[in-house]
């Protein structure tokens, strides 16, 4: 195990381990500072990770740093940042040398470009899965896979290549960790931990599969599959809830049911129900993105209400009925009665007129004929006293046929009644 007691200081312009000339500062992590350096004897650039002086005195932190170097140096794969040197300098610096990668982390990529297209995500996921599979074959679980720990660089042909870095909390499968874990110390990044990691259970390669599915979901949507408005809510949702559908988090995307199914299986709370390996997940995702996007299901319309059709009335052809013409019987005229001498009417009274005298003298105007009306508001409902007129039985039949004809032609009984009233009124007025 490496040990160091030297105080931390600026290393720009210095030479580490007599072979790495520090040229610039790349960044700072939880375990130490990362510098860009040039090998003094070989045409090679390197990223030098120097452990914080305050952590060098902590046996557990020093052990983790050494374990990162040991684990990463065992994995030989193009998707894993290669570690080729680590040690302790004469002045007490603990360092780790790995290949220098000029690129952006997935976190920076998401901040710059937002959610990525399906094909691009599938290519990156396949590369990351291949790197994880190489580590798993060596019996190493990364346990801290997240956007900050994946760099995207360009190869000699200009293609994107994902590189996994930072095996600082990597664990050998089946190895105990009690000697390296302090009470209350969280191993990993909580936002990307599997449920078994959150519960402090033993982990295997399926924890890395869970983190890879979280990473994939974030590359597709720019968000996490669980409600993460607060850290506590995000942790509880991972232990109790199912992932939010892609269509809910990013409704403008065209998602197939196959893609959703692959993610749901890899994000299963029960690791026994989860996708078993990183490459199984990558291959299933490759197949799923070729499926046709599922269309939003339109609501099923209610069954139509069958309304019985209103029967079309058959309009009968009116039959013109000509009533038989009755031949009036010739009556023998009665002899005219003898004129009756009437007394002279009093002065101012109207003269007496007998039926035999016929019309009144022209000197006296005829009395006004009463106008007979039927129905209607305000109309008088009365008939004048008519002289007795014999009516034959056939007249009733004629009237019934005539009324039926009116009902047919007018299309309404009420209209036919009004027509009868109007005709009768006219006839009576003429008779009077």
Supply the residues annotated as catalytic: 144
CA dihedral 105, 108, 114, 117 (to 10 degrees): -20
Tokens at 22, concatenated: 């520090």
> Which residues have C-beta within 8 Å of that of residue 163, sequence separation ≥ 6?
79, 80, 81, 101, 103, 131, 150, 151, 152, 153
Residues 145/162, Cβ–Cβ less than 8 Å = no
Separation CA 330–CA 341 (nearest Å):
32
> Which residues have C-beta within 8 Å of that of residue 349, sequence separation ≥ 6?
none
Please tell me whether residue 341 adopts helix, strand or coil conformation. Answer: coil
């000697």: which residue's tokens?
A: 179
Residues 240/168, Cβ–Cβ less than 8 Å = no
Which residues, in sequence order, are bridge partners of residue 104?
A: 152
Look up residue 148 and give its DSSP letter: G
CA dihedral 117, 118, 119, 124 (to 10 degrees): 90
Tokens at 84, concatenated: 């080729």
DSSP-assigned letters across all residues of 60-101 = HHHHHHHHHHHHHHH---TTBPPEEEEEE-TTS-EEEEEE--
Sign of CA dihedral 118, 124, 130, 131: negative
420, 374, 414, 430: which is closest to 400 by C-alpha? Answer: 420
Sign of CA dihedral 374, 380, 382, 386: negative
* Residue 432 neighbours by CB distance under 10 Å: 11
């Amino acid at each position: 195990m490496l040990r160091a007691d030297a105080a931390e200081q600026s290393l720009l312009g210095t030479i580490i381990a007599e072979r790495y000339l520090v040229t610039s500062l790349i960044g700072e992590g939880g375990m130490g500072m990362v510098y860009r350096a040039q090998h003094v004897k070989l045409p090679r650039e390197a990223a030098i990770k120097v452990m914080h002086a305050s952590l060098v005195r902590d046996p557990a932190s020093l052990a983790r740093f050494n374990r990162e170097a040991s684990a990463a140096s065992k994995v030989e794969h193009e998707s894993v940042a290669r570690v080729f040197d680590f040690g302790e300098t004469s002045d007490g610096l603990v360092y780790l040398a790995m290949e220098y990668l000029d690129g952006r982390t997935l976190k920076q990529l998401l901040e710059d470009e937002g959610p990525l297209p399906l094909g691009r995500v599938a290519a990156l996921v396949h590369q990351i899965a291949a790197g994880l599979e190489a580590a798993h074959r060596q019996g190493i679980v990364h346990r801290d896979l997240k956007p900050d720990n994946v760099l995207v660089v360009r190869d000699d042909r200009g293609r994107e290549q994902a590189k996994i870095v930072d095996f600082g909390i990597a664990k050998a499968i089946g190895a105990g960790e009690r000697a390296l874990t302090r009470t209350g110390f969280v191993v990993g990044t909580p936002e990307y931990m599997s449920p078994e990691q959150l519960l402090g259970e033993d982990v295997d390669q399926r924890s890395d599969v869970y983190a890879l599915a979280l990473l994939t979901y974030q590359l597709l949507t720019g968000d996490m599959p669980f409600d993460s408005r607060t850290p506590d809510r995000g942790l509880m949702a991972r232990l109790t809830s199912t992932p939010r559908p892609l269509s809910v988090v990013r409704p403008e995307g065209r998602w197939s049911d196959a893609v959703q199914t692959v993610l749901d299986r890899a994000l299963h709370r029960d690791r026994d129900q989860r996708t078993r390996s990183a490459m199984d997940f990558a291959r299933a995702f490759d197949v799923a993105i070729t499926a046709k996007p599922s269309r939003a299901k339109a609501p099923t319309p209610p069954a139509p209400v069958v309304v019985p059709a209103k029967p079309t009335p058959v309009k009968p052809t009116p039959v013109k009925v000509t009533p038989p013409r009755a031949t009036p019987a010739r009556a023998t005229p009665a002899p005219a009665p003898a004129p009756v001498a009437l007394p002279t009417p009093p002065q101012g009274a109207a003269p007496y007129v007998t039926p035999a005298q016929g019309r009144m003298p022209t000197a006296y105007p005829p009395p006004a004929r009463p106008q007979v009306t039927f129905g209607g508001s305000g109309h008088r409902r009365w008939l004048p006293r008519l002289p007795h007129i014999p009516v034959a039985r056939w007249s009733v039949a004629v009237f019934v046929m005539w009324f039926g004809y009116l009902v047919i032609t007018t299309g309404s009984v009420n209209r036919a009644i009004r027509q009868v009233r109007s005709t009768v009124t006219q006839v009576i007025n003429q008779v009077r």
